[in-house]
Structure formats: structure tokens, C-alpha cells
Structure 1
Amino acid sequence: MSNTFSDNNQIEVVSSFSELINTPFQGTMNAVCWQRNLVGDFKEIISELQLEDNITEVSSEDLLALNLSEEGNIAREIILNDMQLLADHGASPSLNLLKCYERDEELGFISTDVYSYHVDRSPIGTDTFLCTYHGAASDIIANDQVEQKVLIPEIREQLKKLHNGPEKEFEDFLKEYFFDLHYQPKPNAEPFNLGVGHLWRIAVDHPEQKALPCVHRAPVENDDEYRLLLIC
């Protein structure tokens, strides 16, 4: 697992929100990182929030209602500011308190949950933004270090059996059920962990995209620790 930004041609590191949103993706570079060393007590915010399900969306009003220490208030202001910056940019940020995501183990031979390496797809031009304030952080991986799962012969054969329809409709079937969005790391692949506190913008598969979409996955959560994640 790699954690150094140097010599990683997949990532562009910037020092402001303006640079984060205005740096164009190109070639193999499909992830931009506003690198930050955040202060404040984000764990206190988690301890004051109520987890209603495995995933609870936290609104700005929920945050403002918390009675926090000075350090907790610093953390809250950082989150609120990030949410405002993204909203002003036209995004729809969602702050999630996470115990875990739902697992997809129904088929056995292929997984399509967020713990599987995947890309995001959109019919319109957009980007994915994410920041982990506390807990385990997501991974990304270079496109040349993965193989599309639907191209792996044994998986493709199983999917054809599952499809059980005309060959000309098979590719549409793969897209309809999102099988084509998922990837398998190659031997000796080196994922990159996004770390805590940095705000990331990663490339999405859409019609105007000039770069390859960024392959990423959610982390396996740490025992007895919730994640606090901003995503849009």
C-alpha cells in the first residue's frame, strides 16, 4: 500500500480549493488532492452524533446542534466550510457517519459493492469529491494496475450464463447491472490510500471525460471505529 504522493503520476497535489476544482484531468492523471493537515477534534463530533443505521447522513443543522468543545468546534467549522465550498461549486455534498456499507455477496464470483474496486459513471460531466475526516480512508489504484472484471474469462463465462440471452444484448446487460464498472487488481498492484483530512477530486466516466476514470474502493472499516466521510 503506497502513501507517498511523490512519483505518483496518477495524482496531482494542490494547495487550495480553487486549484482542486480547476486542475484538468489528463492522461494517466485522474485524481487531484488538496493536501491538508487538519486540526480539531473530529472524533468528538462522531461521539456526539447518533448512528441511526449503518449509514447516517448528517446535515449542517445536525452539526450546528452539537454542543462541542473548542477543538470539536474547530473540526465542525472545517466540515461546514468544505460543504459550503462544494455547494457553491454546484455539487451536492453529503456528510455520512458510517459503520459499514452493504455487502454484495449474492453471486459469489463477482462483487459489485463499494468495497470492490470500481469507477463512477455519469451521463453528464461531473466529478466525485471525497474527504475522510475520521476512520479508515478509501484507496485508489492506477488504471494500468487493474483488469476489468467482465474481461476475466472465468467471470465472463459465469456472467454469460447469468445473462442467458442474445449475445448482442450481453454488453447492455453488463452495463445495466454495473458489472462493467468493477475491476480486479493485477498481481503486484500498489493501491494508494487517500488518507485522512485531504479533499480529493477524482475522475468519473462520462461522455466528455478526457482522462481514464479513477478506480477506487471503500476501505474495510477499523474495528469499533466509525468513519466520517464527505462525498459528492
Structure 2
Amino acid sequence: MSNTFSASNQIGTVFTFSELVGSDFRGEMNALCWQRNLDGDFNEIVAKLRIKENITEVYPEDLIALRLSEEGNRAREIILNDLQLLADFGASPSLNLLKCYERDDEFDFISTDVYSFHVDRSPIATDTYLCTYYGAASDIVSNTQAEQKVLIPEIRSKLKELHNGPSEEFENFLKENYFDLHYQVHEDVEPINLGLGHLWRLAVDHPKQQVLPCIHRAPVENEGEYRLLLIC
């Protein structure tokens, strides 16, 4: 990992799954990384899976049905084990083969798609888990490096025009349309890339959360390359 990554107060590093799910977020730390250097040929798995639409969910039986080399089989066992660990923990992991996500280009002054820096929100105490096995990996930034877009005066003014309703309902309008989840990163900020093979836990905005939610974004995919992503 880069010095920027390892030196960040935002990120805690662990070396087992039990540490990943059992450690508490605190202070500025709202991202935990189970640091791993994975063996196996994940490219072979991606090459042999069939993508049916822009986002294709891959099930364990789809992986098991693949005829793979020894290196490909090693990669498959890692993925199946990750899925099982998360399921046994009580999460609902999904393995996705991604061509791209849907873009939100309805408004030219604010975007609400996952390529925009954003936080996740949940009504219950939960966290986001993700691991990129192949392809471009997600980015995060610290909460001091970004500002809620709805607080930027020119964006807020345009959102008020869009709302065109009673002022006391404006904040609910922002939440109902997910505008308040999105952030503008400050100039000259270098996001931290989450890399390949590491299993991450990111803090989510929910009533019992003790830290700020983790600001993150999906990457622009590499030309002609799919992503293989575990997320829950």
C-alpha cells in the first residue's frame, strides 16, 4: 500500500475477518481495511463469466460451474469464502460483474449517481462492505476534504428553484432525492484508491453511528474491461 494510504487517519488496517467486523470506528477513522495480497487468476473468472446487462449478479453456483485452471480455481475459492464469511456474519453480499453503472445526467449542476463522491445511508445500524477483485477500484476521501454539495451556495440556490415549494419542506426534499448524500471534493485533493483484493468496511450514515459516514465513489471503468466487485 502507498504511504498516503497507510498514513491516513481515516483508515484502520486489520488482518483478519473477525477484526474487520469486530473493530469500532473512532475519531476520524471511518474506513477499515482487511489488507490482503490475493493469489489466483481473477481475470480468468471474469473472462469466463457471461455478462447479461450492465450489472450482472454472479451467484455461487455460477462460479462453481466454471471450468478453471489451478490459478482460476484459487481465485474462485477466495471469492466463495468471502461470500460465506459475510453471509455467516449476517450480511447479504452480492458479487457483481460490472460493465458500468447508470449515469445521472438529469441536472447539469448536481449528480446523484455512484460516480459522484457520496455517502451511504441506512435506517438501521449497518456498514458497507466491498472488495474489488478485478478492474478499476473505488476511491475514498476524508470528510475534511469535501463539502456537501447542498451547502454550496450556487448549487443550493438551484436546488431551491427546483424544489419550488414551502421552505420548511426543503430539507426533506433534499433527502428524498438523495441530493444531501453527495459531496464536492476540494481542489488538489488526491483521493485514496481502495486497490484490489482488500476487503473494506465503510461507515454508513445511520442513527447509531458514532463517526461521520465514509465519502466514496465508484471508479470510471477502464476501457474494455469489466469489474468484479463484492458489495453489501
Q: Deviations over 1:119-170 (max 9, x none)?
A: 0000000000000000000000000000000000110011001000000000
Structure 2 regions of 5+ residues with no counterpart?
Answer: none
Matched with 2:200 is 200
Query: Would you say how many aligned residue pairs link Structure 1 and Structure 2?
Result: 231
Q: Deviations over 1:104-124 (max 9, x none)?
A: 011111000000000000000
1:34 aligns with 2:34: yes
Q: Deviations over 1:164-222 (max 9, x none)?
A: 00000000000000000000001122210000000000000000000000000000000
Counterpart CA distance in 2 for 1:6 and 1:217 is 20
Matched with 1:179 is 179
Counterpart CA distance in 2 for 1:89 and 1:4 is 31
Q: Secondary structure at the match of 2:7?
A: coil
TM-score by length of 1: 0.98
Matched with 1:162 is 162
Counterpart CA distance in 2 for 1:88 and 1:167 is 46
Structure 1 regions of 5+ residues with no counterpart?
Answer: none
- Residue 27 of structure 1, CA deviation: 1.2
1:13 aligns with 2:6: no
Q: Secondary structure at the match of 2:5?
A: coil
Counterpart CA distance in 1 for 2:4 and 2:135 is 19
Tell whether the 8 Å contact from 1:129 to 1:231 is kept in structure 2 after alignment. yes
Matched with 1:218 is 218
TM-score by length of 2: 0.98
Q: Which aligned runs of 4 or more in structure 1 are off by greater than 4 angstroms?
A: none
Matched with 1:143 is 143
Counterpart CA distance in 2 for 1:187 and 1:134 is 29
- Residue 3 of structure 1, CA deviation: 6.5
RMSD value, Cα = 0.8
Tell whether the 8 Å contact from 1:145 to 1:190 is kept in structure 2 after alignment. no
Tell whether the 8 Å contact from 1:121 to 1:206 is kept in structure 2 after alignment. yes
Counterpart CA distance in 1 for 2:164 and 2:60 is 48
Q: Secondary structure at the match of 1:132?
A: strand
Counterpart CA distance in 1 for 2:226 and 2:88 is 28
